[in-house]
Amino acid sequence: MPLWTAAAIAAATGGTASADFTVNGVAFDSREVGPGDLFVALSGEATDGHRFVGQAFAQGAAGAIVSRPVDGPHVLVNDTTVALNQLATASRARTSSRIIGVTGSVGKTGTKEALFAALDRITHGNAHRSVKSYNNHTGVPLSLARMPAATQAAVFEMGMNHAGELSQLTRLVRPEVAIVTTIAPAHTEFFTGEDAIARAKGEIFEGLVEGGIAIVPFDSPHRDTLIAAARPHAGRIVTFGLREGADVRAIEHVRMSGGDSFVTARLGSREVSYTLAPPGEHWVANSLAVMAAVDAIGGDLGVAGLALADLEGLAGRGARRKLKLAGGDALLIDESYNANPASMRATLKVLAAERADRRIAVLGEMRELGESSDAYHAALAVPIDEAGVSRAVLVGEGMLPLAKALEGRIETVHVPDAAAAARVLSDLIAPGDAVLVKGSNGVGLARVVADLWGQD
Treating both helix axes as pointing N-terminal to C-terminal, what angle do 341-352 and 281-296 enclose, rounded to 10 degrees? 110
Per-residue pLDDT, 455: 45
Distances (CA, A) of 99 to 63, 66, 258: 28, 29, 34
| Three-state secondary-structure class, residue 348 | helix
pLDDT tens-digit series, residues 151-178: 999 999 998 878 889 999 999 999 999 9
Decide if domain 319-453 falls under CATH 3.90.190.20: yes
pLDDT reading at 58 higher than 70: yes
**For 138-163, what is the mean pLDDT?**
94
Provide the percentage of residues in the chain whose pLDDT is more than 70: 98
pLDDT tens-digit series, residues 373-401: 999 999 999 999 999 999 999 999 999 99
Per-residue pLDDT, 195: 86
Per-residue pLDDT, 84: 97
The rounded distance, in Å, linking the Cα atoms of 240 and 265 is 10
Residue 211 sits at φ, ψ, to 5 deg, of: 80, 10
User: What DSSP designation does 318 have?
Assistant: B
pLDDT band at 194 (very low <50, low <70, confident <90, very high): confident
pLDDT reading at 456 higher than 50: no
Residue 240 sits at φ, ψ, to 5 deg, of: -135, 150
Per-residue pLDDT, 192: 65
pLDDT reading at 10 higher than 80: yes
pLDDT tens-digit series, residues 309-331: 998 877 787 888 889 988 899 99
**For 211-228, what is the mean pLDDT?**
97
The boundaries of every CATH 3.40.1190.10 domain in the chain are: 95-309
The boundaries of every CATH 3.40.1390.10 domain in the chain are: 4-82
**For 70-87, what is the mean pLDDT?**
97
Question: Across all residues in the chain, what is the average pLDDT?
Answer: 93
Neighbours of 19 (CB within 10 A): 10
Asked if 222 and 198 count as a contact pair (C-beta separation under 8 A), the reply is yes
Fold of 95-309: UDP-N-acetylmuramoyl-L-alanine:D-glutamate ligase (3.40.1190)
Asked if 368 and 441 count as a contact pair (C-beta separation under 8 A), the reply is no
Asked if 67 and 42 count as a contact pair (C-beta separation under 8 A), the reply is no
For 438, counting Cβ atoms within 10 Å of its Cβ (0-12 exposed, 13-18 middle, 19+ buried), the class is buried
User: What DSSP designation does 19 have?
Assistant: S
**For 236-258, what is the mean pLDDT?**
93
pLDDT reading at 132 higher than 80: no
**For 57-65, what is the mean pLDDT?**
97
The domain covering 4-82 belongs, at the CATH homologous superfamily level, to MurE/MurF, N-terminal domain (3.40.1390.10)
Closest CA to 240 of 289, 207, 192: 289
The boundaries of every CATH 3.90.190.20 domain in the chain are: 319-453
Cα angle value 174/179/184 (rounded, 5°): 125
DSSP string, 34-60: -TTEEEE--B-SS-BGGGGHHHHHHTT
